[in-house]
């Protein structure tokens, strides 16, 4: 109920901000869950839901193909491997929730480079309503009850920033159905601080759309309706992550009140592969996401989950 109210307020605010702008807009959601990869895989990053609203911003630069503004709200839920015990000793990862609202802009350059900047404000802890969401979900689908949320990371307010830079590489190796990009992501804030760098490869089942019109970084919206076209491709994105701080594992920067916390393993290998599809105004995607072992605990391991995205373009 709380999340539904927050979503309603979010959409009202966004509608007021963009009122009167005759721009193409995109509304969609992304849902993450480990059950999207295996019915037996239920641990660590167990569920996520994000709703977003994108629209074209003003662009006065000849070097930039388009600028897209975005508003987003979301909730992420984290569990240990076992959710059937309140025993701290069996928590190989803290229970934690992250509820946030954010805004950002993405700059798509004519040379197919991409810069994305976003900021978030939210809560980690009981104010994220992660416990209520998970208990309600398990009750609705008649899953096993969840024990242990009393040991969750304690409340902390979050101010968070995210930066992404992507650059086209190996252009001489490109064909109409394959291209390559380097990608660097930096997180800085009170929830997460770290940097990841990797390489993106898109392999099209038909001719690839330039990245500044593709749905990969959310560039589907465009003033010219003739730019709305179909695309269907497979992608793979391996990366190396160096993580300095993670409040869902280490607790707040400002106190040590959380009953279960762990030290990080700073260097990890992450991987993502999936399919993205677009036909006229509809965008669909599925990704298999792997995350390397994140913390120092004998039982804790790397993990994986699935991510499903759907959005629709309006004129």
Q: Could you tell me where the DSSP H helices lie in 164-307?
A: 247-250
Residue scoring higher pLDDT (16 or 41): 41
Least confident of 19-33, 100-114, 149-163: 19-33
Query: Taking residues 35-43, what's their average pLDDT?
Result: 80
Rounded Cα–Cα distance for residues 82 and 4 (Å)? 29
pLDDT band at 6 (very low <50, low <70, confident <90, very high): low
Does pLDDT of 75 surpass 60?
Answer: yes
Q: Average pLDDT of 132-137?
A: 88
pLDDT of residue 20: 38
Can you give the pTM of this predicted structure?
0.89
Please tell me whether residue 212 adopts helix, strand or coil conformation.
coil
Instruction: Round to whole Å and give the CA distance between 43 and 47.
Output: 9
pLDDT of residue 21: 41
Q: Across residues 163-172, what is the average pLDDT?
A: 92
- Neighbouring residues of 91: CB distance < 8 A, sequence distance ≥ 6: 80, 82, 148, 151, 260
> pLDDT of 288-303, one tens digit each?
999 999 999 999 999 9
Distances in whole angstroms, Cα of residue 170 to Cα of each of 64, 151, 181:
21, 49, 8
Residue 272 pLDDT more than 50?
Answer: yes
Q: Which residues contact 108 (CB under 8 A, 6 or more apart)?
A: 64, 65, 66, 67, 68, 114, 211, 212, 217, 219
Place of tokens 């969609």: 28
Residue 225 has a pLDDT of 59
Which residues are CB-neighbours of 151 under 8 A, at least 6 positions away? Answer: 86, 88, 91, 94, 95, 259, 260
- Say yes or no to pLDDT of 3 above 70: no
Query: What's the CATH number for 2-314?
Result: 2.40.128.140
- Over the stretch 248-260, which tens digit does the pLDDT of each residue have? 999 998 888 999 9
Greater pLDDT, 172 or 96: 96
pLDDT reading at 102 higher than 80: yes
Which H/E stretch holds residue 161?
strand 156-169
Three-state secondary-structure class, residue 51: strand
C-alpha torsion sign, points 146, 150, 153, 154 = positive
List the single range of 118-127, 155-164, 170-179 with lowest mean pLDDT. Answer: 170-179
> What percentage of residues in the chain have a pLDDT greater than 90?
73
Which of the residue ranges 48-62, 170-184, 286-300 would you say has the lowest mean pLDDT? 170-184
Between the CA atoms of 216, 217, 221 and 225, what dihedral angle is there, to the nearest 10 degrees? -40
Q: Judge contact between 49 and 30, C-beta under 8 A.
A: yes
């Amino acid at each position: 109920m709380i999340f539904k109210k927050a979503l309603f307020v979010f959409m009202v605010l966004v509608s007021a901000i963009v009122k009167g702008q005759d721009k193409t807009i995109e509304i969609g959601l992304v849902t993450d869950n480990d059950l999207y990869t295996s019915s037996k895989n239920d641990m660590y990053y167990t569920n996520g839901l994000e709703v977003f609203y994108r629209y074209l911003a003003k662009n006065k630069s000849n070097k930039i193909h388009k600028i897209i503004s975005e508003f987003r709200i979301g909730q992420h839920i984290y569990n240990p491997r076992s959710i059937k015990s309140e025993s701290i000793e069996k928590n190989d990862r803290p229970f934690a929730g992250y509820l946030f609202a954010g805004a950002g802009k993405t700059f798509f350059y004519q040379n197919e480079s991409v810069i994305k900047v976003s900021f978030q404000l939210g809560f980690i802890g009981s104010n994220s309503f992660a416990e209520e969401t998970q208990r309600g979900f398990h009750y609705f689908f008649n899953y096993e009850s969840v024990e242990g949320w009393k040991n969750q990371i304690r409340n902390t307010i979050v101010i968070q920033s995210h930066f992404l830079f992507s650059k086209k590489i190996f252009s001489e190796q490109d064909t109409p159905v394959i291209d390559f990009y380097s990608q660097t992501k930096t997180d800085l804030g009170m929830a997460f601080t770290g940097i990841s760098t990797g390489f993106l490869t898109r392999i099209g089942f038909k001719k690839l759309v330039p990245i500044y019109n593709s749905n990969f970084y959310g560039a589907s919206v465009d003033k010219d309706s003739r730019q709305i076209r179909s695309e269907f491709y497979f992608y793979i994105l391996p990366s190396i992550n160096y993580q300095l701080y993670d409040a869902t594992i280490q607790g707040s920067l400002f106190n040590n009140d959380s009953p279960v916390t762990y030290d990080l393993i700073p260097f990890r290998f992450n991987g993502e592969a999936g399919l993205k599809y677009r036909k006229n105004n509809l965008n669909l995607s599925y990704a298999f996401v792997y995350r390397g072992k994140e913390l120092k605990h004998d039982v804790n391991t790397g993990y994986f989950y699935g991510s499903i995205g759907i959005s629709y373009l309006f004129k």
